[in-house]
Amino acid sequence: MKWLPIRAGLAALAMSGAVLAAEGSTAKKDVLSIAARVADWQLAHMDGEYIITHMAHEAREPRSWQQGAFWVGMTHFADIAKEPRFARAIQDMGRRNEWTPGSRVTHADDHVIAQGYLWAARHGAGPQAIAPVRATFDKILANPPVVHLSFYFAKNYDEVQCLERWCWCDAVFMSPPAWLDLANQTRKDQYRDYAMAEFWAATDFLYDPAEKLYFRDSRFFERRDDQGRKLFWSRGNGWVFSGIANMLEFLPADHADRTRLERLFKEMAGRLKELQKPDGYWAPSLLGPENSPAETSGTGFYVHGLAWGIRQGLLDAATYRPAVDKGWAAMTRAVAKDGRLGWVQQVSDRPESVNEADSQFYGTGAFLLAASAVARLP
């Protein structure tokens, strides 16, 4: 794996233990302060004009997965920040979108925006906020996809047949939490049953028990980097790890799948802790850290999951808190003075290069998820 070189100043900063310690404060007020700055910057730039890379046109769609992931982070942050403007922004977004998910009924990417609507319904928007989501999921239940999970590329990405199910690891973040939240709000077990069955089907297919990581999709089962190592994409596994934490938030404590899901979460956590770099980041290609750039989207999702796991008692604080603090310090170093988050790998399905100026909605979402979980730690 070949990376763009890290700027000398960033490399020096990353390797400086003294600076890292100085920036490693996780005092709640400091966490919330910088997170508010990041959230405010993003809210002021929802037109996405700063995004000029691949899929920029899609990122600017208000129901896109890129923006949807940002709003997931906003829901978590609004809960702890207690600043009315953040809750109001989520409610306003839902009303502008008329509470509708994306147009592709079965595609997980078009479900993630619904997590914002479901939050809004729990915070005063009422049942109308979830009605379109429920109608979409009812269509799926009435005619569940039966395609195989193997990823066969077509001329048009959206024509890949397996995308009707959760055949790529990103889907774990995008769709299952919405199904579980909807099951709780409607008290209809069929939504939860479908989500858990599809989640385990995806996990049985994509999870590598030897490495304790997820392949992005079946195209990567046999791919290797230039040193013969398996390709495990950081943000891809971040989608999964953060997504599992969000699933556990909505899965009843006595549910039959909870023990297995917690075991999977802890297994991944242990592996991810091993793979964190000395500078606090995780490399875009998890098994290829040498000369890798800073990357904040995968790192943000990992910090979120690890901090959440500590607070829930699933992860030992003495073991995992140093990784959280180091990861959070790395995240804060990527925030510009105006609140823009940099070093976000752009839209892709694999490890690629990253530049300091790269930013994206989902990177901000990961930052806010991380901040929300870190701020809740003692």
Active site residues: 170
Per-residue model confidence as pLDDT tens digits over 81-112? 999 999 999 999 999 999 999 999 999 999 99
Torsion, CA 313, CA 76, CA 258, CA 168, rounded to 10: -120
Domain coordinates in residue numbering, the chain: 8-375
DSSP annotation of 256: T
Please check the confidence at residue 8 and state whether its pLDDT lies above 70. Answer: no
CB-CB contact of 24 with 332 (8 Å): no
pLDDT for residue 122 is more than 70? yes
pLDDT attached to residue 18: 33
At 272-302, the pLDDT tens digits run 999 999 999 999 999 999 999 999 999 999 9
Burial (CB count <10 Å: 0-12, 13-18, 19+), residue 375? buried
Instruction: Output the pLDDT for position 319.
Output: 98
User: Residue 349 pLDDT more than 90?
Assistant: yes
Percent with pLDDT over 90 in the chain: 90
* Residue 218 phi, psi (nearest 5): -65, -20
Residue 317 has pLDDT above 60, yes or no: yes
Per residue in 160-198, pLDDT (tens digit) is: 999 999 999 999 999 999 999 999 999 999 999 999 999
pLDDT digits (tens, 9 = 90+) for 14-35: 333 333 333 444 799 999 999 9
8 Å CB contact between 289 and 232: no
pLDDT at residue 13, as a whole number: 35
**pLDDT confidence of residue 279:** 98
Close Cβ partners of 18 (under 8 Å, ≥ 6 residues apart): none
Q: What pLDDT band is residue 5 in, cutting at 50, 70 and 90?
A: very low
Q: Check residue 155 and give its pLDDT.
A: 75
**What is the CATH code of the structural domain delimited by 8-375?**
1.50.10.10
DSSP letters, 93-153, are HHHHTTT---S-SS-GGGTTHHHHHHHHIIIII-GGGTHHHHHHHHHHHHS-----S----
Which of 378, 376, 364 has its CA nearest to residue 73? 364
* Mean pLDDT (whole number) for 222-249: 98
pLDDT of residue 75: 98
* pLDDT for the residue numbered 15: 35
What's the pLDDT band for 6 if we cut at 50, 70, 90? very low
